[in-house]
Amino acid sequence: MRSGIGRFGLVGVLVVACGPEVTTVDQPTCAKLEEGEICLFPRRGADEGSGSSDDGADDDVADGDGSSDGTSDGKDEGDADGAPGGAAGSSSDGGEEEPCLTFRGVLRDFRRGDRAGGHVDFETFAGEGETGLLSKDLASDGKPRLAKENPDSITSAKSFAFWYRDDPEDNVAFNVTMELEVGPDGGAVFGSEEFFPLDDLGFGNQGEDHNFGFTTEMHAQLYYDGVQDGTFTFEGDDDLWVFVDGTLVIDLGGTHGALIGSFDLSEVAEKLGLEPGGTYAFDLFHAERHSNESSFRLTSTLSFVDCEAD
């Protein structure tokens, strides 16, 4: 692999927290990627206790693939979870409104599972992908949940429950924004073939040249104009799931090399019964779980709103 693009070279922004083996940021810090920019922020006052049973983790373990009554709550739960109603993409209707080009969310770093104290799902599986791992809808707290019995690439519903919930003993969380840029075809693009946003942060690189063990959780508000056939495409590794209005529309689960998944909004709208002029939750969940590659690239011609929401 080439040397990592987008490493955080600013000085004076790192502090030791939560024990001598953990490194986090004490002020915003940004890095340019091949396409777009990513910024990390201190994780303060957000998701406190989200690793507890009161916030749905135990329910996920107990319910497995049970249905959710919170399929439209992705944005609200994102707000509560430190991922306020940001958005990303460019307008699909060609109107005068400026493109909305910001995703907001959370990155969580994990110890590698082949060492003492590590998370059992990170650096312990290899494969070519595994679809059907998740329930088709989100849990009531806006989080994904494992549905497949005896999966090949995840240890259990219990281990998966904390991929996207803060737990000081299990992960180190960072608030994050992803600033997309307008591509040559007028759509929005973001990412890199070498996506290492947490190099030397969290639990560190753990013997590798880069930090490969982390999850990405992003939330946005998608506007459906009912006219144009907007599309969204992801290319990368490892696990990647996208939900629209709380329903799974891209399933690239499991550990794997770079794969491509996409959806056409007009097809999704027909299937889900989206109404023209409506705004719907857009939730993206990603995991980088195995060395020695990490790629993450988004392309979008969708229309997102509320980029500046707090």
- Chain segment 94-151, per-residue pLDDT in tens: 344 556 899 999 999 999 999 888 999 999 999 899 999 999 999 999 999 999 999 9
| Overall average pLDDT of the 203-211 stretch | 93
C-alpha–C-alpha distance, residues 96 and 82, integer Å: 31
Give me the half-sphere count of Cα atoms (radius 13 Å) on the Cβ side of residue 36.
28
Asked if the structure places residue 183 within a domain, the reply is: yes
| Overall average pLDDT of the 19-29 stretch | 84
- In this structure, of 1-5, 40-44, 110-114, 205-209, the range with the lowest mean pLDDT score is 1-5
Give me the half-sphere count of Cα atoms (radius 13 Å) on the Cβ side of residue 89.
27
| pLDDT score, position 49 | 37
Domain residue limits at 266: 14-305
Which distant-in-sequence residues (6+ apart) come within 8 Å of 99 by Cβ?
Answer: 89, 90, 91, 182, 188
Asked if the structure places residue 43 within a domain, the reply is: yes
H-helix segments, 135-208:
157-160
Asked if the structure places residue 140 within a domain, the reply is: yes
Residue 292, preceding peptide bond in cis (omega within 30° of 0): yes
Q: Decide if pLDDT at 45 tops 80.
A: no
Could you tell me which of 205, 246, 56, 35 has the C-alpha nearest to residue 123? 205
pLDDT band at 185 (very low <50, low <70, confident <90, very high): confident
Cβ(300)–Cβ(187) below 8 Å: yes
Cβ(234)–Cβ(240) below 8 Å: yes
Q: Decide if pLDDT at 310 tops 90.
A: no
Identify which has the larger pLDDT, 231 or 98.
231
Could you tell me which of 30, 18, 184 has the C-alpha nearest to residue 109? 18
Asked if the structure places residue 250 within a domain, the reply is: yes
Q: Provide the pairing of β-strand 278-288 with 296-300.
A: unpaired
Q: Across the chain, what does the average pLDDT equal?
A: 81
pLDDT band at 186 (very low <50, low <70, confident <90, very high): confident
Asked if the structure places residue 229 within a domain, the reply is: yes
| Overall average pLDDT of the 149-159 stretch | 96
| pLDDT score, position 6 | 43
Per the rule left: phi > 0, alpha: psi between -120 and 50, beta: everything else, 307 is alpha
Q: Decide if pLDDT at 12 tops 70.
A: no
Among positive and negative, which fits the CA dihedral 16, 17, 19, 23?
A: negative
Q: What is the identity of the amino acid at 169? A: E
Share of the chain above pLDDT 70, in %: 75
Asked if the structure places residue 8 within a domain, the reply is: no
Q: In the chain, how many domains are there?
A: 1
Asked if the structure places residue 7 within a domain, the reply is: no
pLDDT band at 58 (very low <50, low <70, confident <90, very high): low
Q: Decide if pLDDT at 86 tops 60.
A: no
| Overall average pLDDT of the 186-208 stretch | 94
Task: Compute CA distances 91 → 72, 83, 179, 231, 249, whole Å.
Answer: 22, 22, 15, 11, 20
| pLDDT score, position 307 | 75
C-alpha–C-alpha distance, residues 286 and 266, integer Å: 24
Cβ(265)–Cβ(247) below 8 Å: no
Asked if the structure places residue 310 within a domain, the reply is: no
